[in-house]
Copies of this chain bind each other. A is one copy, B any other.
Amino acid sequence: MVEKRKPIPVGEAVRKVMEYARPGLKEMVPLECAYGRFLAEDLAADHEVPSFDRSPYDGFAIRAEDTLQASSENPATFEVVGVIGAGSVFTETVGPYQAVRIMTGAQIPQDCDAVVMLELTNERRDHKKTYIEIKRMFKKGDNISFQGEDVRKGEILAKRGTYISPGITALLATFGYNEVPVAKKPVIGVLATGSELLDVNEPLEAGKIRNSNAYMILSQIQRAGGEPVYFGKLNDDLESCISAVANALSKVDMLITTGGVSVGDFDYLPAIYEHLGASVLFNKVAMRPGSVTTVARYEHKLLFGLSGNPSACYVGFELFVHPAVRTYSFNDKPHLLKEEAILEEDFPKPNPFTRFVRANLSYFDGRLIVKPSGFDKSSAVSSLAEANALIVLPGGTRGYAKGMTVDVLLLEDNRGSEWPWENIVPSYK
């Protein structure tokens, strides 16, 4: 009755998932809805920025050569021959000792090659004409924002798969992306299993717990960049489970089940996979928590069977589902960002398998520091509240002491890693 399962190292398990993780589709969204999405195409500059020489200040456009002799004792006088508001173009000639009043951002007149800031001039009116005095020399090019100094035409400003931040939004607007090609969010179904589960709105009962995993995963899907669909709770009858999974699968890009992946008598997941004809990529991973994580593939869709234990479920999502979501979003650093941090507390437990400790990462004196964010059991839920990182302790290591350097995976960082699993010691049972 007890199925023997062969645990594989975490890196190998992730690699098996990534073999079937595929880029998704592109869709167009209005610019104002693009924040937080991922670019589906390279963002290239189709013109220079600025696209014309412009004034960075309010002031006067002049010919620099006319200031060669100017000093406080001997100011040069210029006749103001026009005004250029931002957005306007001054097409007339500007001759010697003539100046044009120019606003911030306005185009420099053809004949001018320097701008004098308003504060540095004295203005006077005389016979309906306006004059300014300039008390020092200006060089050709002074106070001009030159065409192309910010962005060169043809430059790739952001690659396909880039997270659309406010800065990327500014560039999209600059280059006329009224509609933005973004990665379609993968639709990810969630099905909870477990006869112990109460709905969130139900009162507690003896022996039962409220279903926290499903809602936690809906949030994790959103954080990763997917679109969650909750299909509710499976009941305890195998036939209806099979049809519920088949129905959900037909409506999503990936499917997550929680619970039912243990080796106990009441776990239907292997039977469901078999009935559907899904091929199991692995059903045991040499890690804690989440060793019973199962991933299967049905046609081109991935089915993630995560543990019913909150911490195990959480970790399983971040290691296996997150990179699939980011790959779907064209991102080439789909895994959690891996960095080093100093452990702030002893962690005396030995680690027969690679261990992922829910942790709180912060900074001190310009360094990353990290401590377990609470009670470390796969069933724990409190430790998830302040978790913004996972400490990675390789299998085969003994306990860790305060002050040691450990690897951490960052949960709230959109930069990601290409492949964080190189130097994690594999561990077999």
Contacts and interface: CB of A to CB of B under 8 A. Distances in A.
Interface string A42-72: 0000010111101010100000000000000
Nearest to A87: B196
Contacts of A214: 173
A34 B365 CA distance: 34
A257 interface: no
B104 A215 contact: no
Interface stretch (A15-23, A201-209, A271-279): A201-209
A239 to B, nearest CB: 18
A118 interface: yes
A119 interface: yes
Interface string A80-106: 000101111100000000000101111
Contacts of A51: 204, 209
B173 A210 contact: yes
B167 A385 contact: yes
Given A265-B101, A366-B342, A377-B145, A107 B173 contact: no
User: How many copies of this chain sit in the oligomeric assembly?
Assistant: 2
Contacts of A385: 157-158, 165, 167-168, 170-171
Interface string A405-417: 1000000111100
Contact of A208 (B34, B87, B415): B87
Contacts of A123: 1
A346 interface: no
Contacts of A202: 176
Given A101-B265, A262-B104, A264-B104, A167 B210 contact: no
Interface stretch (A134-142, A297-305, A307-315, A325-333): A307-315
B194 A86 contact: yes
Helix, strand, loop or mixed for chain A's interface? loop
A41 interface: no
A216 interface: yes
Nearest to A194: B86
B223 A166 contact: yes
B207 A381 contact: no
Interface string A126-149: 000000000000000000010001
B35 A173 contact: no
A-side interface size class: 35 or more
Interface in A380-413: 380-388, 405, 412-413
Interface in A146-197: 149-151, 157-158, 164-178, 194-197
A310 to B, nearest CB: 6
Contacts of A265: 83, 101, 103
A210 B171 contact: no
Contacts of A415: 362
28 contacts: A32-B230, A34-B219, A35-B219, A49-B382, A51-B209, A86-B266, A87-B194, A87-B195, A87-B197, A87-B208, A88-B207, A105-B309, A150-B381, A158-B385, A167-B314, A167-B358, A167-B384, A169-B219, A170-B212, A171-B212, A173-B211, A175-B210, A178-B199, A340-B365, A340-B366, A362-B415, A366-B367, A412-B413
Interface of A: 1-2, 31-32, 34-36, 47, 49-52, 54, 56, 58, 83, 85-89, 101, 103-107, 118-119, 123, 145, 149-151, 157-158, 164-178, 194-197, 199-204, 206-220, 222-223, 228, 230, 262-266, 308-310, 314, 339-342, 358, 362-363, 365-368, 375, 377-388, 405, 412-415
Shortest beta-carbon contacts, A-B, top 7? A167-B384, A87-B196, A166-B219, A86-B196, A170-B216, A58-B264, A173-B212
